[in-house]
């Protein structure tokens, strides 16, 4: 064969091979590149997978939830440190201003009394549910029906620790802030003996709460009225305690006698 011809033939083959190689690597790249929609609808967002999800699994995609920090100074020049809100004056509030997620999972105080998981609050995220009337069978709606759904149910989650101080059921004349001096500023004056089977749930550190709460009632009040987002309090289960009377007060007749099941499960991820 002609040497020149052989040379060009080899060149053509080389070009084809390199081209195919490049195409293949590229194809593989698209194959492994995370697909946005696939991630949005990742089964981990739904039941039953979400019940078994670990923080690490969620954070693999949502790391920013715990890494983002607030600006030390707002664009208008207000220092975060000078802009404390009413719920940030409970005496247990320490450290610099921080984000919502970090205040529940990362800051020193939150870690000392709580053991929250992503799934303690998040019980599923379906983008189709973020707007109303998005299912095929939904009836036509007027704009007045439109309320965006929330990612977390405030009533079954937030209310647990951000309800009003339930002074009525305690037979106390007013909110803790008004009457605490007359009670020696001490929840334990009564709660040494009453409703003592408490905080036996997987997102709270019961022993540490007792220790800190005995020394400073602000610890207790913090979750039971001190930063209340609601004008009601949570209808807590009345877990039987030693010395409990067999008579149930009227206000407690429809109360459960056991904490919510999903919070009792000893989670494998703990
Ligand atoms: C494979 C990656 C991936 C995993 C794992 C994952 N997510 Fe997501 N998630 C996404 C993507 C992508 C979106 C859509 C984000 C957007 O559009 O801004 C999303 C949306 C959300 C939203 C709604 C956010 C919004 O702004 O609308 C929440 C809440 C959420 N995820 C919580 C979780 C929780 C809790 C877990 C663990 C149980 C989890 N995700 C696991 C990728 C993931
Ligand atoms: C104390 C309850 C709570 C915990 C614990 C929690 N979240 Fe959230 N999360 C919320 C609330 C409330 C929102 C805002 C919901 C809304 O806008 O409807 C939110 C919003 C989000 C969003 C939307 C984007 C954003 O930053 O607003 C993502 C993603 C998310 N959470 C993921 C997570 C992951 C991952 C974890 C675990 C590391 C986690 N969350 C733990 C309550 C919680
Ligand atoms: C298990 C108890 C618990 C639950 C449930 C809970 N929180 Fe909190 N929350 C706390 C505690 C404790 C703090 C104070 C943290 C601190 O002082 O560092 C706090 C602080 C906050 C703050 C103030 C953050 C800041 O920057 O100072 C907001 C806002 C808040 N919670 C909203 C919510 C919402 C909304 C929900 C429901 C999605 C929720 N919390 C569920 C215990 C809880
Ligand atoms: C004067 C006594 C007294 C003091 C002081 C007191 N409590 Fe109570 N508390 C009670 C009584 C009584 C009940 C109801 C007992 C029952 O269920 O029969 C109660 C119930 C509760 C409940 C359950 C409410 C419900 O709806 O199930 C919580 C939570 C609570 N107290 C927290 C506190 C905290 C936090 C403090 C301090 C900031 C405090 N208490 C101080 C007497 C007191
Ligand atoms: C980090 C938030 C947090 C702190 C701090 C805290 N609590 Fe609670 N408390 C809760 C939650 C959440 C529940 C409901 C748990 C459940 O579902 O059983 C609860 C339940 C209770 C109950 C009802 C118990 C039952 O099951 O009958 C009493 C009483 C109570 N707390 C008193 C106190 C006292 C006293 C302190 C201080 C020593 C205190 N709490 C500190 C969050 C908190």
The tens digit of pLDDT for each residue in 20-29 reads: 877 776 666 5
Give residues with Cβ within 8 angstroms of 241, minimum separation 6.
194, 195, 196, 197
Query: Distance, CA 125 to ligand 1 centroid (Å)?
Result: 7
Domain ranges of the chain: 159-263
pLDDT at 191 over 90: yes
Query: Distance, CA 268 to ligand 3 centroid (Å)?
Result: 25
Dihedral, 58, 227, 196, 111 alpha carbons, nearest 10: 40
Query: Ligand 3 — pocket residues by CB below 6 A?
Result: 87-88, 92-93, 98, 100, 103-104, 107, 109-110, 114, 121, 152, 154, 157-158, 160-162, 203, 222-223, 227
148, two tokens = 């965006």
> For a pLDDT cut of 70, what percent of the chain falls above it?
87
pLDDT of residue 270: 44
Task: Evaluate: CB of 44 within 6 angstroms of ligand 1.
Answer: yes
pLDDT at 79 over 90: yes
Cβ contact 80:70 at 8 Å: yes
Which tens digit of pLDDT belongs to each residue from 206-259?
A: 999 999 999 999 999 999 999 999 999 999 999 999 999 999 999 999 999 999
Task: Evaluate: CB of 131 within 6 angstroms of ligand 1.
Answer: no
Q: How deeply is 162 buried, as exposed, middle or buried, from its count of CB atoms within 10 A (0-12, 13-18, 19+)? A: buried
User: How far apart are the C-alpha atoms of 41 and 39, rounded to whole Å?
Assistant: 5
Which tens digit of pLDDT belongs to each residue from 102-113?
A: 999 999 999 999
Query: Distance, CA 267 to ligand 4 centroid (Å)?
Result: 29
| Residues 66-84, mean pLDDT to the nearest whole number | 93
Instruction: For the beta carbon of residue 51, count every other beta carbon within 10 angstroms.
Output: 13
pTM beyond cutoff 0.85: yes
């Amino acid at each position: 064969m002609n040497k020149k011809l052989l040379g060009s033939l080899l060149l053509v083959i080389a070009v084809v091979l390199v081209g195919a190689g490049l195409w293949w690597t590229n194809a593989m790249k698209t194959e492994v590149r995370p697909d946005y929609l696939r991630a949005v609808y990742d089964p981990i967002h739904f039941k039953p997978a979400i019940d078994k999800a670990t923080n690490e699994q969620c954070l693999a995609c949502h790391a920013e939830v715990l890494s983002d920090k607030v600006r030390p100074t707002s664009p208008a020049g207000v220092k975060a440190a000078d802009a404390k809100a009413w719920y940030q004056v409970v005496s247990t509030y320490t450290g610099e201003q921080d984000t919502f997620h970090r205040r529940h999972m990362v800051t020193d105080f939150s870690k000392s009394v709580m053991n929250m998981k992503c799934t303690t609050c998040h019980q599923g995220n379906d983008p189709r549910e973020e707007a109303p009337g998005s299912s095929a069978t939904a009836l036509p709606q007027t704009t007045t029906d439109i309320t965006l759904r929330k990612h977390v149910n405030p009533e079954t989650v937030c209310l647990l620790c951000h309800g009003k101080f339930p002074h009525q059921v305690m037979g106390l004349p007013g909110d803790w802030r008004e009457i605490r001096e007359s009670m020696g500023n001490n929840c334990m004056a009564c709660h040494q003996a009453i409703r003592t089977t408490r905080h036996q749930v997987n997102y709270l550190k019961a022993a540490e709460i007792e220790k800190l709460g005995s020394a400073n009632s602000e610890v207790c009040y913090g979750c039971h009225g001190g930063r209340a987002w609601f004008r009601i309090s949570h209808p807590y289960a009345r877990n039987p305690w030693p010395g409990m009377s067999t008579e149930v007060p009227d206000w407690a007749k429809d109360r459960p006698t056991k904490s919510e099941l999903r919070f009792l499960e000893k989670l494998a991820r703990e």
